A and B are shown apart, each in its own frame.
Chain A
Amino acid sequence: MRLKSLRVTLSSFLATILLIACTQLTPLSQISQQPTVQSSTLLISAAASLDEALQEITPIYTQANSNQTINYNLAASGALQQQIEQGAPADVFISAANKQMDALEKKGLLASGTRKNLLTNQLVLIIPKQASVSLTDFQQLVKPEVKRITVGEPRSVPVGQYATEVLQNLGILEQVQAKFVLGNNVKSVLTAVETGDVDAGIVYITDAKSSDRVTIVTTADERLHSPILYPIAVLNSSKSLDAAKQYVDFLQSPPAKAVFEKYGFGIAKS
């Protein structure tokens, strides 16, 4: 009796596996018979600050190119750089600073001739909408009432690197450093200010504009930090180089530019 039920279980198990194997195999063989159809999935590793703008651009792109699927990996540019160096299967990289792109270029990971400057951005000081301490400029961050300031982790998060440059050039970095809470990307910096758990934060103007829970205090003078440039490039490990180049071209076309500008980005002069 027991043996019989065991046999039934085993055979039904085998049948299930066969069934799964068959359903998995059929489309595969179909694909191999029609190699001319160009359908590809692109993985775009992009700086976290581009989140909303790229989400809006994607449907416009895929409408015109219905055979392509676009996936995003949004994080701090430094983290993305590390992932790509360790072999992450990304097709396109959009960094929020030259430093990370330079590192990849030096290692020969970029497809030659594809690197371009895509966008520019500005740096702002923000406080929570219902702020307990009101500020009017960067200098006031030294005030003792300002207990916590959140900035990006300077080594891996470009917005943190620009923020420390500004504070350094204003000569107040040493005084405010002890108040730093270091975020792992620009969005975590924004959130900490939104929830009011910190007194102030330094983010891009595009992030500040996307939130109705923060107030922009002031924009940093562009002479106080290195230019905020968003370089873009196709990675030479990409399996769909042509599709990736097509996507990069699209980001530089007027419809994409209109979306970027709507979110407050500047268009880089190439």
Chain B
Amino acid sequence: MLIPNLSPLWISLKVSLLATAITFVLGTVVAYSMYCYHSKWRSLIEGILIAPLILPPTVVGFILLMLLGKNGILGQILAQCNLRLVFTWYAAVLAAIIVAFPLMYRAALGAFEQIDPVLLDAARLDGASEAEVFCYIALPLAIPGILAGVVLTFARALGEFGATLMLAGNIPGQTQTMPMAIYFAVEAGAIQEGWFWTIAVVCISLVGIVAINSWKI
């Protein structure tokens, strides 16, 4: 079997690993803030945070393109700083972060909600600051749930296609990820190439899940 250019593999790994790292920090911190936050706006904010999960990726891609494109509000601000996000691999990272964020957030929030609040209050009584309560008590107790969130985030980021294609475009060697390579291989009738990338995605996903599972045990 002919081995195609491997750049989609490296781009996919680069984009999804970076997106996972950022989403992990962002999702965990936001989830903990929401866990401590109680007001009537909570359900509305939560709805907005979860939205990318229930919206089709093309809707997310369209909104981002309208915001970040050359004539979008954010796009014009970026242009003044001589920056261009659309059709770069950073755009692929951004798209992956936004579609994967709800998974990380929900998993982390669930994990924090499992913690007995008495433990956190006990630490506060003993004089721990809120930052210390988060770092030394809440985070370690929530790790299994957060880890599950990281796996889901990575899988979602690796599989992201719709929003990425709209925002980052199909640029071989720069933004063409594995799912994109599969799509365009099939459209071009390059079935072998389609199989190659399909098997690659399946292998990476399986290896990731097996690695996380064995690490937990």
Interface residues of A (CB under 8 A from B): 76, 78-79, 81-82, 85, 103, 147-148, 150, 153, 155-156, 178, 180-184, 192, 195-198
Number of A-B contacts (CB under 8 A): 59
Chain B residues positioned under 8 Å from A103 (CB to CB): 189
Stretch at the interface among B7-15, B133-141, B169-177, B195-203: B169-177
Q: Does B84 contact A (CB under 8 A)?
A: yes
Chain B residues positioned under 8 Å from A148 (CB to CB): 87
Measured between alpha carbons, how far is A78 from B186 in the docked complex, in Å? Answer: 9
Is B187 within 8 A of A78, CB to CB?
yes
Interface of B is mostly: loop
A184-B87 contact in complex given A81-B189, A195-B71, A196-B70, C-beta closer than 8 Å: no
Is B171 within 8 A of A180, CB to CB?
yes
Measured between alpha carbons, how far is A82 from B120 in the docked complex, in Å? Answer: 59
Chain B residues positioned under 8 Å from A195 (CB to CB): 65, 69-71
Measured between alpha carbons, how far is A85 from B189 in the docked complex, in Å? Answer: 10
Chain A residues positioned under 8 Å from B169 (CB to CB): 150, 181-182, 192
Is B87 within 8 A of A181, CB to CB?
yes
For the complex formed, measure the closest distance between the CB of A38 and the CB atoms of chain B, giving whole angstroms: 35
Measured between alpha carbons, how far is A79 from B86 in the docked complex, in Å? Answer: 25
For the complex formed, measure the closest distance between the CB of A269 and the CB atoms of chain B, giving whole angstroms: 30
Interface of A is mostly: mixed
For the complex formed, measure the closest distance between the CB of B185 and the CB atoms of chain A, giving whole angstroms: 8
| Most A-side CB within 10 Å, residue of B71, B165, B169 | B169
Is A153 within 8 A of B87, CB to CB?
no
Chain A residues positioned under 8 Å from B65 (CB to CB): 195, 197
Is A153 within 8 A of B170, CB to CB?
yes
Chain B, Cβ-Cβ closest to A153: B184
| Mask of B69-111 contacts with A, CB within 8 angstroms, 1/0 | 1110000000000001011000000000000000000000000
Is A182 within 8 A of B170, CB to CB?
yes
Chain A residues positioned under 8 Å from B171 (CB to CB): 180-182
Chain B, Cβ-Cβ closest to A128: B70
Partner of B172, one of A150, A182, A184: A182
Measured between alpha carbons, how far is A132 from B171 in the docked complex, in Å? Answer: 21
Partner of B184, one of A85, A147, A182: A182
A180-B172 contact in complex given A153-B184, A195-B70, C-beta closer than 8 Å: yes
Measured between alpha carbons, how far is A79 from B170 in the docked complex, in Å? Answer: 16
Measured between alpha carbons, how far is A195 from B167 in the docked complex, in Å? Answer: 12
| Mask of B151-189 contacts with A, CB within 8 angstroms, 1/0 | 000000000000001000111110000000001101111
Chain B residues positioned under 8 Å from A183 (CB to CB): 170
Is A184 within 8 A of B70, CB to CB?
no
For the complex formed, measure the closest distance between the CB of B84 and the CB atoms of chain A, giving whole angstroms: 7
Chain B, Cβ-Cβ closest to A79: B187
Measured between alpha carbons, how far is A198 from B87 in the docked complex, in Å? Answer: 8
Measured between alpha carbons, how far is A81 from B186 in the docked complex, in Å? Answer: 11
Is A78 within 8 A of B170, CB to CB?
no
A197-B86 contact in complex given A180-B172, A182-B172, C-beta closer than 8 Å: yes
A147-B84 contact in complex given A153-B170, A181-B170, C-beta closer than 8 Å: yes
For the complex formed, measure the closest distance between the CB of B29 and the CB atoms of chain A, giving whole angstroms: 32
Chain B residues positioned under 8 Å from A153 (CB to CB): 170, 184, 187-188
A197-B187 contact in complex given A153-B170, A181-B171, A182-B172, C-beta closer than 8 Å: no
Q: Does B190 contact A (CB under 8 A)?
A: yes
Chain A, Cβ-Cβ closest to B167: A197
Chain B residues positioned under 8 Å from A181 (CB to CB): 87, 169-171
For the complex formed, measure the closest distance between the CB of A77 and the CB atoms of chain B, giving whole angstroms: 10
For the complex formed, measure the closest distance between the CB of B69 and the CB atoms of chain A, giving whole angstroms: 5
Beyond contacts A103-B189, A147-B84, A197-B70: 4 other A-B pairs, Cβ-Cβ < 8 A, are A85-B189, A181-B171, A184-B183, A184-B184
Partner of B187, one of A156, A178, A192: A156
Q: List 23 A-B contacts (CB under 8 A).
A: A78-B187, A82-B186, A82-B189, A85-B189, A153-B187, A155-B188, A155-B189, A155-B190, A156-B184, A156-B187, A156-B188, A180-B171, A180-B172, A181-B87, A181-B169, A181-B171, A182-B171, A182-B172, A184-B165, A184-B183, A195-B65, A197-B69, A197-B86
